[in-house]
Amino acid sequence: MAKLLDDIAALAPEVTAAEPSARQFGEPASQRMVGLGNHLPMALLALDRLGASPRQLGEFAAAYRKRLVPLADMTMPVVTDPGELRGEIDAFPRLEVFYRTALARDEHRAVLQRHLPSLLTGIAGAALHPLIRLAYGLLGGTRSEIAAGLAHATIRYRTLPAGSTVIAPMEADPRILLRRLRADAAFDYKPQADIPIDAAIFSASDRPRFAAVVDDLILADDPWRQLAPVAAAFHVVRDDALSLHAVAGIHATRIIAGELDKPAARQLWHHVWRAVSALYLAAGKPELPSAGYLAQLRDQVGRVEDAPDWPGILARAAETPDALAAIFTFTCLEEGRRSGDRLYRWLAWRAIT
């Protein structure tokens, strides 16, 4: 598995402008060849953890690799300060070499602690996809994917609106803050299918009061338990790429935060919460389902006609040709195991049916 992931890390998808996915992150096909859309390493790790056989993994990789082309040889000049290349799409190959070299020299936690904090204010770029790729690199212990995740976070660095003054947060319930966004007409945004999700989250959040509302959150001692249920509820009602990235981004943040010191981890959670809020606005700030409705969904889980048990879900997911479905099912499995919340089983089943 590790050798296969290392080989694939040198590839990226070739996407034509006619394909809907070419618009997902808002860059033309030529730029998608710079490591922005390669879901194969993540999908293979997810499928492996879901119980796919070596034959299934091989068939999935063979089919997906037909969409991939080698990265262009743009590794010069040598990078000395990755911060100088934040937001520079064409710098991906050079940055990947830089981070690979750093990971060959130092333990991965040291590399993350040294380079990730300076990227956190811009981590919403590409709808949290860089964080997700980085987390899968950590889960698989694959240095090439850790390097790719860091390079991706660097080139897609883009900041959400910041407040003019530092405020003391007052609200501990993120649902209340989302309700404030929903009730305020200044945050009205009509989702449009032909707008890239990356562009949508920055357009929807470009409001004078964005920081004043979302930065009012008091992070709990365990931010994951505070934010994960909100992201899951968001995906229940939306079931689209925006809410999917919120759930997958929260899962990824839990993995990455465990590799950072406490101050950096809390800053990571703060900026991921801001990104989730922007995803929520880009989705048209839907009304989140009530606690009663979510309880009904949890009660459905276990009835074969509504959602089978996890072994049945995993067996079906192991056969999926859809990379995002595999990744999301694995996300639900991991988050469900950690939380004990049966809602993730319902979400996983919906994702593969």
Per residue in 177-232, pLDDT (tens digit) is 999 999 999 999 999 888 889 899 999 999 999 999 999 999 999 999 999 999 99
Neighbouring CB atoms inside 10 A of 305's CB total: 6
Does residue 79 contact residue 85 with C-beta atoms inside 8 Å? yes
Copy the structure tokens of residue 9: 């890390």
Sign of CA dihedral 287, 290, 294, 297: negative
Q: Give the max Cα distance, the chain.
A: 59
pLDDT score, position 132: 96
Place of tokens 């365990």: 222
Provide the percentage of residues in the chain whose pLDDT is more than 90: 77
pLDDT category, 36, cuts 50, 70, 90? very low
Verdict on whether the full-model pTM lies above 0.85: yes
Provide the percentage of residues in the chain whose pLDDT is more than 70: 86
The yes-or-no verdict on residue 110 having pLDDT over 70 is yes
The yes-or-no verdict on residue 27 having pLDDT over 50 is no
The residue-averaged pLDDT of 3-30 equals 40
The residue-averaged pLDDT of 130-156 equals 96
Round the average pLDDT of the chain to a whole number and report it: 88
pLDDT score, position 308: 80
pLDDT score, position 339: 97
CB proximity list for 280: less than 8 A, separation 6 or greater = 178, 181, 234, 242, 246, 286
pLDDT score, position 195: 87
